[in-house]
Amino acid sequence: MSAFNTLLNLASLGTHISMATKLEEMRRHGETAAVINAMLNEIRSQIFSYNEAAKNILEATVSPKEAAGAMLLLEMRLKASGLTPVLFPDLKDKEYVSNTTRFIQSKAAALKAELSAEEQQEAQSIVTQAFQLPDYNYYLDHYYRLKEYEEALPASTGASGCIRTIGFMLVAIGLYFFLMFFIVFGNSSVTNSLIATLLIIGVSAVAGGIFMVSNNKKKTGAKELVEKIKGEIDVERLKELDQRFYNNIENVTKLRKKAQNDIKQFFSNSKLLKN
């Protein structure tokens, strides 16, 4: 598969952004040099992939419009990835990243300048749609998991340990009053009102305690579910996407399909998207 085809992969941009962010977090938290160097090696590999993708575009036998669209997309993705010279402590790495960035930017500008105004607009539209695809896919792939998270979140809050303790105490109190009820029941010296009071208090306490213990189990389950989902998906990213897309999964599905069809048609005869 060509380097450009790899970079057009719908998940790759999110991965590159995540790598740059993760490296900064590692440094802030004082991660070991070995771990940081391992991440830097991965980022070097990604920068190399961008460089190779640019060369693929220039060497491919494609129309000027396809070449311009591909290089403009590459430029936009590199800019959004956060893979910049400042990530590297070594001067040679800084220079390589800087040179790769300038190389892609200059080629994108030159290829775009060869197009007519109409072709430039078409190419830019394709770039914008292709750039949106990772968000469309991430949102659609995890939409229902986000809704599951949002549904469980309100039930997961609160001091579950305290509630459970109070619930068990109420059950114990209720059982005590039940015991007192059975002791005095039938005793002619005890008024019926007192017997009824003991029964009411006992039933109420037991019922209340059982309810609280049961509700606590639901709360604990909700907390576990919330933590599990947070470990599976990027909740903050999905919440931002949900707000941007107005919680309209049907519309996003249509937008993704249109983007995929338009990109496929734009690059229909291109060797850039072939293995």
The boundaries of the domain holding residue 63 are: 3-115
Look at 155 and 5; give whichever has higher pLDDT: 155
pLDDT at 126 over 50: yes
**What is the mean predicted confidence (pLDDT) over 177-206?**
54
> What's the one-letter identity of residue 114?
E
Distance CA 202, CA 209 (A): 11
Count: domains in the chain: 2
In a domain, 269, yes or no: no
Same domain, 64 and 167: no
Look at 256 and 179; give whichever has higher pLDDT: 256
**What is the mean predicted confidence (pLDDT) over 9-16?**
49
Same domain, 106 and 181: no
In a domain, 30, yes or no: yes
* pLDDT value for 173: 60
In a domain, 139, yes or no: no
Contact between residue 53 and residue 7 where contact means Cβ atoms under 8 Å apart: yes
Same domain, 176 and 100: no
Same domain, 32 and 90: yes
Contact between residue 10 and residue 133 where contact means Cβ atoms under 8 Å apart: yes
Same domain, 27 and 89: yes
User: Domain boundary at 56, 85, 115, which?
Assistant: 115
Look at 156 and 49; give whichever has higher pLDDT: 49
In a domain, 90, yes or no: yes
In a domain, 146, yes or no: no
What are the residues whose beta carbons fall under 8 Å from the beta carbon of 264, sequence distance 6 or more? Answer: none
Q: Work out the pLDDT band at 214, boundaries 50, 70, 90.
A: low
In a domain, 141, yes or no: no
Same domain, 109 and 157: no
Same domain, 32 and 106: yes
**What is the mean predicted confidence (pLDDT) over 233-248?**
92
Query: Is the Cα dihedral 106, 107, 108, 111 positive or negative?
Result: positive
**Cβ-based burial of 86 (10 A; exposed 0-12, middle 13-18, buried ≥19):** exposed
Distance CA 25, CA 184 (A): 68
CA distances from 104 to 62, 84, 120, 258 (A): 17, 13, 17, 27
> What's the one-letter identity of residue 35?
V
Distance CA 40, CA 148 (A): 36
